[in-house]
Each structure stands twice: as C-alpha cells, then as structure tokens.
C-alpha cells in the first residue's frame, strides 16, 4: 500500500509537470520580450536573455495605434460582458425554473449555435452591422462578440441557477415578491459567484477574439489582437515587439484572474454537488 506521503509527492510531481507544460510557452514569451530585438531572433534561440533589455517595451511608445487598441479592447470586452450577462441571466433563469420541453429544446438549440464556426457567421454579421450603421463602433464589435458569449453564458448560468433551492424563491414570493423581484433580489445575489465566473469567461472570449474584430473594425475601434498581429508582415515577424505586446496584453487578464481566484473556484463548485 502506498503511503500518503508518496501519493502526495506523486500528485505534486504531476501538478508540477502540468504547470511546466502550460507555463513554459508563457515563460518563453516573457523571456523573449526581455531580449534585445536582435537577440530575440538568434538561431538557435536561447532560453533566457543573456542580457536583459527593455528595448521592446520602450519601442511600444512608437506605436500610438497599439496603445489605442488596448483601450478599445477593454471597452469592447466590458460592453460585451454587460450585454451577455444582461441577456443570459434571465434566459438561464427561465430555462432552470421552467423545466419544460421547450426550455430543454431551447438549451439544445443554444448549444448548436456554439458549434457553428465563427467564420460562417462573419459575413452575415458584417451585413447586419453595416445595415445598422454599427461598423467600426464599439457597440457593433461588442454585439458580435456577444453572439459567441450568450450561448456560453446561458449554459453556465443555467447550471448555477438549477443548484439554487426553489424554496428560497418561494419564500420570497410568499413575502410578496414578484417573480422578477425574486430574480433580482434573491436569485441574482445567490448566483453572484456563478455570474462572476461567467463574466470572466465572457470577458476573456471578447478580449482574445480576432475574426469579428477584424471584419467589423477599421481604424476607430481596432482591438489589441489585431494591432499585435500587424507586426507580422509579409516579409518579417517582429518577435521582440510582438512578444512584449503579448505580455502586456495578457497582464490584465492574469491580474484579474488572480484577484478573482477565490470567487472563480467558489463559482465553479456551486453546481458541483446537488442536494
């Protein structure tokens, strides 16, 4: 029989291995960003910078478009998160509370929309947004991102809502709350952990999205992923600049995730055990 210590050591080793596999590309990204532009291109590449250089970061100041694109990404991601949560919460609540045949069918259809590749809806979305005059606007891109996120949001939130005891809501109704009031005052606060998790996923999906942002933006609302990709031109890839921008691009998400870590874990386990 294996001792608890051995089991724990094995587990830790496994965890370390997984962290290494997932962490290495990011560590190499950070390392490359801290090399001089010339050293970033060395063949064979070195794992660590032989001389630390912040030249790549300093060069970012030369690209005002990139700086603006970070602002656009934040605005669009926040807008998309608000739109998605506003639509997904009532939809998920309805599906969870009215466990009808239609509700299940609705969930299934919502799932199917997740299976459609974004490239297939890119052009129809472009036509719609142009007709609405929303090309190259924050709202237009945020709405497009919401088409990806709303199905995800409904599915995530529906499972959270199902885990909330009906008795809570019924008690509120007995005390004179309307159904909408119960949703607002009881269900949403109780499901706040799940809503936070959903919001994080939605924010991330919008933050990283490329195709819709490319199709629906011109100069006004260009997002950071597109601005970063512009450093890969027909003839060259500016690895130094790209890696430094990628590090900066990832920082808000990492910081946000660390700050919300407890909430995320709590939210993810809400629906795990049903009574």
Partner 1 sequence: MKRISLVLAILVLLSLSLVAGAQDPVTLTVLVEQGGVWLQEAAAAQFEEETGHTVEFVNVPYGSVFDRLSAEMATGGSAFDVATIDVVWMSHFAPFAEPLDDLFTDEVVGDLFASLVADAQIDGTFIGMPTWANTEIIFYRKDLWEDADEMAAFEAEYGYPLAPPATWDEFTDMAQFFTRDNDGDGEIDMYGTDVKGGVADFEWMIAVLQAGSPGVVLDADNNIIIDNDAHVAGLEYYISHHCDMDVAPPNVNEIDWGVAENLFYQSQTAMFRFWGHAYRLTRGDSPIADLVGAAPMIAGPGGVGAIPGPWFNIVPKTSQNKDAALQLVQYLYDHNAMGIEAPLGLAARKSAYAQYADVEGFENLNPLLATLDSPQTIGRPAVGDWQQIADEILGPIGSDALTCEHDVAELLAWGRAELEAMGYE
- Decide: is 94 part of the binding site for partner 1 (CB under 8 A): no
Query: Cα separations (Å) of 225 from 65, 71, 72, 178, 243?
Result: 12, 12, 11, 44, 12
The yes or no reply on residue 50 touching partner 1 (CB under 8 A) is: no
Contacting partner 1 (CB under 8 A), which of 4, 219, 274, 275? 219
Among the residue ranges 36-44, 84-92, 172-180, 193-201, the one whose residues contact partner 1 (CB under 8 A): 36-44
In the complex, the smallest distance separating the C-beta of residue 93 from partner 1, rounded to whole angstroms, is: 36
* Alpha carbon distance 136, 216 (integer Å): 6
Nearer to partner 1, 42 or 58 (CB): 42
In the complex, least distance from residue 227 CB atom to partner 1, rounded to whole angstroms: 9
Task: Give the binding-site size for partner 1 (rule: CB under 8 A).
Answer: 29
Indicate left, alpha or beta for 136 from its phi (over 0: left) and psi (-120 to 50: alpha).
Answer: left
DSSP for 1-35 reads: ---HHHHHHHHHHHHHHHHHHHHHHHHHHHHHHTS
Which region, judged by CB under 8 A, interacts with partner 1, from 1-9, 185-193, 225-233, 245-253? 225-233
Residue 36 interacts with partner 1 (CB under 8 A)? Answer: yes
65 lines the binding site for partner 1 (CB under 8 A): yes
Rounded Cα distance between 25 and 126, Å, is 34
**Interface with partner 1 by CB under 8 A: which range of 1-9, 109-117, 235-243, 248-256?**
235-243
Q: Which of 127, 120, 176 is nearest to 148 (CA)?
A: 120
Least distance between partner 1 and beta carbon 254 (Å): 25
**Span from 19-27, 171-179, 222-230, 266-274 in contact with partner 1 (CB under 8 A):** 222-230
The tokens describing 251, both together, are: 């920082």
| Nearer to partner 1 among residue 123 and residue 168 (C-beta) | 123
The answer to whether the beta carbons of residues 143 and 83 sit under 8 Å apart is yes
Contact criterion met (CB below 8 Å) for 39 and 253: no
Under the rule (CB under 8 A), what is the footprint of partner 1? 36-38, 41-43, 65, 122-123, 126-127, 130, 135-136, 211, 214-215, 218-219, 226, 229-237
């Amino acid at each position: 029989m294996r001792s608890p210590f051995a089991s724990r050591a094995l587990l830790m080793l496994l965890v370390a291995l997984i962290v290494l596999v997932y962490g290495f590309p990011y560590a190499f990204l950070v390392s490359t960003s801290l090399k001089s532009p010339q050293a970033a291109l060395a063949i064979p590449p070195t794992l660590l910078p032989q001389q630390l250089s912040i030249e790549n970061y300093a060069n970012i100041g030369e690209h005002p478009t990139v700086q603006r694109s970070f602002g656009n990404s934040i605005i669009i991601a926040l807008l998309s998160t608000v739109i998605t949560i506003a639509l997904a919460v009532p939809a998920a609540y309805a599906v969870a509370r009215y466990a009808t045949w239609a509700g299940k069918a609705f969930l299934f259809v919502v799932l199917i929309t997740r299976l459609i590749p974004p490239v297939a809806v890119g052009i129809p979305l472009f036509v719609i947004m142009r007709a609405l005059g929303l090309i190259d606007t924050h709202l237009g891109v945020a709405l497009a991102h919401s088409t990806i996120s709303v199905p995800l949001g409904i599915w995530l939130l529906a499972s959270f809502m199902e885990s909330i005891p009906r008795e809570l809501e019924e008690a509120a109704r007995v005390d004179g709350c309307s159904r909408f009031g119960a949703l607002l005052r009881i269900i949403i606060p109780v499901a706040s952990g799940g809503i936070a998790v959903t919001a994080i996923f939605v924010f991330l999906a919008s933050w990283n999205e490329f195709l819709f942002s490319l199709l629906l933006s011109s100069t006004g609302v260009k997002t950071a992923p597109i601005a970063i990709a512009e450093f890969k031109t027909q003839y060259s890839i500016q690895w130094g600049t790209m890696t430094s921008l990628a590090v900066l691009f990832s920082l808000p998400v990492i910081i946000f995730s660390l700050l919300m870590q407890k909430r995320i874990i709590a939210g993810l386990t809400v629906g795990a055990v049903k009574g």
